[in-house]
Amino acid sequence: MTQSPWTTHNPGGGRRVVVTKELPGERWLQTLIAADCRVEVSDSRTILTPAAIERAIGDECAAVIGQLTEAWQAPLLKKLAAAGGRVLSNYAVGFNNIDIAAATRLGLPVGNTPGVLTETTSELTVALTFAAARRIAEGDAFVRSGSFADCGWLPMLMLGKLLWRKTLGIVGAGRIGTTYARMMVEGHKMDLVYHDPFPNEALEDYVRDYGAFLETHGEPAVTCRRAESLDELLAAADVVSVHTVLDESTHHLFGARQFAAMKPHAIFVNSSRGPLHDEKALVEHCRTHPDFYAALDVFEDEPRIQPGLSDLPNVVMVPHLGSATGWTRQGMAVLAARNAVAMLDGAPVWNRPDVLVFLTAEAPAAAPSIVNADELGLPYFNDAMEERS
């Protein structure tokens, strides 16, 4: 097998940075070049194996900007540390592809890119929800095949589901889950039930206030409540959208029992992480329950999908497009680059709510997000500013 080609930018740079996929935009690259980095970017369109990444790291490498699709386990992290690596910057908000404990033991900061994909991913989740409810993929295929020209409009053709004033269930009420919920509640007057280890009082207050606003305009209020158990949510919701983190406790959170506990006409949406659902169980449930729909942006063994999934008309699938807008993906690239530069420069870690400031010309000298900053004892920006004042 021939080695994937690489493109080198700023070959005279004093600090070597490996980037395992071409990233959108130019600002991320200019950020690295301005920090005296020699930047080597893989031109491969396939997922690099750990062996290929090890070869790219070589004997001297200051930083890597990697991808969520890559398995960064202890041997590969040791290779980066041995080559003088001072940071692994993940081009993603998630980091379940990285052995964080091993990175911490090696003293390697791990960066991620939160704060720029909340609305983008939420919008994609809305799109998936309605694509399933209104059978958009089926309808598109029907028209393209010429079948619509053969039969024309029919009263019973591809009847879908009305979501107006129905009940939305979200599992995981973090930033994306909350934003998606607000879009559905505000736009489609859905009642909300959520399941999360912690109460989201801000979300509850918002829905309550919005419900009061509706009443002042002569409309019924919407409601929000926290389900004490997942089963309680599944029994109540017409749409179930999962937004929780992926860890040992949530792996296969949705399996045969959970799908069976949902309403027969429910819609299951996953734009978070594929292993949150048991894909084999989902295939079987959708096959035996044709009125049940699933809408997936992620897959259990991505990019491979479970056999039989693509044969099901009641499953909508897209190729991990949650963050796929130009603005968001370019913003993620800038954050990933700034994480790398900050760690190479010994800068503190940002601990203020406004991450978008890093996309401006006045970006602070800090790392936007280092997930193991506490474990490594890294200084924070606020503390650093107080010491200087």
Catalytic residues, by residue number, are 273, 302, 320
Contact by Cβ (8 Å): 87, 109: yes
Burial class (CB in 10 A: 0-12, 13-18, 19+), 267: buried
Contact by Cβ (8 Å): 151, 131: no
Residue pointed to by tokens 């879908």: 160
β-sheet bridge partners, residue 296: 270, 317
Structure tokens at 146: 């010429």
348 closest CA partner among 308, 290, 388: 388
335 closest CA partner among 251, 273, 343, 322: 343
